[in-house]
Amino acid sequence: MSQNGEIKKYFSEIKEDLIKLRHTIHKNAEVSGKEEHTAQIIQKYLKKLKPDNLITGIGGNGIAAEFKGESDGPTVMIRCELDALPIVELNDDIPYKSKNEGSSHKCGHDGHMAILCGLGHMLHKFEPQAGRAILIFQPAEETGEGAQWVLDDDKFKDIEPDYIFALHNVPGYPKGMILHRPGIFSSASRGLIVKYNGATTHASHPENGRNPALAMAHLIEELLAFPQLHTSFSQAALVTIIHAKLGEIAFGTSPGYAEVMATVRTHEDDLMNQLVEKAEDLAKKNGSIHDLDTTVDWTQVFHATFNEKKSHKLVTKVADQWGYSKKTLQRPFSWSEDFGRFTVKHKGAMFGLGSGEDQPQLHNGNYDFPDEIIEYGTTMFYGIVDEILNKNYFQS
């Protein structure tokens, strides 16, 4: 039997156990930074796979499982996410519906965790010949914080990878299709918060106060015009106003406070840095014109995820080895992933895994990760690890 045949046969033996694990995680969904029970479930499961080292509490609730080869060699890290979303689950017909009201796995991180545990099974059964494979379960991806928490943790120094890989399931594509592209894979984004403070007064005498209404209105208009006015035809940027507030509901009062929140997205980090500077200048200029105190803050900062050339080629090579259908993306995904924090520092790649053409979109209350694609993710990751640790891919 071929190696791939052995892998598939072994997967068939563990498949139901991985599905059961996925459903357990789904039922216990926890939002970013609060994944304590999820981490306990993963830790208990990983202990059965007898990794050479199991690191807990990395970057908060993160976990890393280390599988060593018999001799020295490179370190390859495979990463997934622990957190769910603050979204009400609408899948009333599934027996494993989230029991934590208002929290649910609507991005498929439960499936990503099951895939990594499947890889753990493979590395326990088929030990690497050299080097080491690190499986890392990262907290707080949805807020853009968790990857940096992991990178800043002293424990990470002991597992620093030479190469790092990840995947994300993508609705709208056939189940199991491998979606890939060299260079930028997913976009940079960050949240903008602008606050204007003036002075309230009686609505019959607005001239006695400092009303931020015009500054707020001008800011919204000018932010929405950013992509047209501050980017070239060959670049891509998007500004979405997600919240705005002016004073309180009091018809006798001219308000003295306003805030605007927006999400800024670009394909490239350099362009993002330029737009950040322009947005801050614009907000402060508007505030100054209307004699307002202005504060500008940024939150949920995601870097663009960058696929290094040879790492990207490895993804396509492994897909071909398994006979999986694949699609080259013509442009980066517009959504963001904090895996970009890792690719700023380490060579590697992220690929997409089709989760069904009729699947509800990510972050939709009706979405549910399809169990059928756990096998595709597990075998892809094992193929990547095998090429690096057993077949010296990066040394060839």
pLDDT of res. 280: 97
**Whether pLDDT at 396 is above 80:** no
CA distances 47 to 41, 244, 300, 340, Å, are: 10, 48, 33, 29
pLDDT of res. 334: 93
| Residue-wise pLDDT tens digits, 255-292 | 999 999 999 999 999 999 999 999 999 999 999 999 99
Residue ranges, CATH 3.40.630.10, the chain: 3-184+304-395
* Cα of 59 vs its chain's centroid, Å: 15
pLDDT of res. 2: 84
What single letter denotes the amino acid at residue 41?
Answer: I
**Whether pLDDT at 335 is above 80:** yes
| Residue-wise pLDDT tens digits, 128-141 | 999 999 999 999 99
Angle CA 89–91–95, to nearest 5: 110
CB atoms within 10 A of CB 257: 19
Nearest to 255 by CA among 194, 206, 195: 206
pLDDT of res. 230: 82
- Interstrand relation of 53-58 and 62-68 (parallel, antiparallel or unpaired): antiparallel
Angle CA 118–357–355, to nearest 5: 15
pLDDT of res. 229: 84
| Residue-wise pLDDT tens digits, 357-388 | 999 999 999 999 999 999 999 999 999 999 99
**Domain 3-184+304-395, architecture per CATH:** 3-Layer(aba) Sandwich (3.40)
What is the 3-state composition of the chain as percent helix, strand, coil, each rounded to the nearest 5? 35, 30, 35
| Residue-wise pLDDT tens digits, 300-316 | 999 999 999 999 999 99
Q: What is the DSSP letter of 85?
A: B
Q: What is the DSSP letter of 294?
A: E
CB atoms within 10 A of CB 199: 16
The class that CATH gives domain 188-302 is alpha beta
Residue ranges, CATH 3.30.70.360, the chain: 188-302
Q: How far apart, in whole angstroms, are the C-alpha atoms of residue 266 and residue 147?
A: 20
What single letter denotes the amino acid at residue 324?
Answer: Y
> Which band of pLDDT confidence, cut at 50, 70 and 90, is reported for residue 235?
confident
- Mean per-residue pLDDT for 191-219? 97
> Which band of pLDDT confidence, cut at 50, 70 and 90, is reported for residue 35?
very high
Q: Are 344 and 303 in contact (CB under 8 A)?
A: yes
Q: Are 119 and 177 in contact (CB under 8 A)?
A: no
Return phi, psi of residue 192, to 5°.
-105, 130
Enter the tokens of residue 344.
């700023």
**Whether pLDDT at 344 is above 80:** yes
- Mean per-residue pLDDT for 27-54? 98
> Which band of pLDDT confidence, cut at 50, 70 and 90, is reported for residue 336?
very high
Which residues are 241's β-sheet partners? 262
> Which band of pLDDT confidence, cut at 50, 70 and 90, is reported for residue 232?
confident
CA distances 327 to 80, 173, 375, 389, Å, are: 22, 10, 19, 26
What single letter denotes the amino acid at residue 1?
Answer: M
Q: Are 297 and 261 in contact (CB under 8 A)?
A: no
| Residue-wise pLDDT tens digits, 46-85 | 999 999 999 999 999 999 999 999 999 999 999 999 999 9
> Which band of pLDDT confidence, cut at 50, 70 and 90, is reported for residue 332?
very high
pLDDT of res. 3: 87
What is the share, in percent, of the chain residues with pLDDT greater than 90? Answer: 95
**Whether pLDDT at 127 is above 90:** yes
The pTM of this model reads: 0.92
CB atoms within 10 A of CB 294: 19
Which residues are 201's β-sheet partners? 254
Q: Can you tell me whether residue 275 is helix, strand or coil?
A: helix
Enter the tokens of residue 282.
């614009």
- Mean per-residue pLDDT for 335-360? 96
Task: Give me the chain's average pLDDT, please.
Answer: 96
pLDDT of res. 152: 97
Q: What is the largest CA-CA distance in the chain?
A: 86
CA distances 96 to 43, 135, 247, Å, are: 20, 26, 43
Q: How far apart, in whole angstroms, are the C-alpha atoms of residue 333 and residue 328?
A: 12
Q: Which residue has the higher pLDDT, 41 or 92?
A: 41
> Which band of pLDDT confidence, cut at 50, 70 and 90, is reported for residue 197?
very high
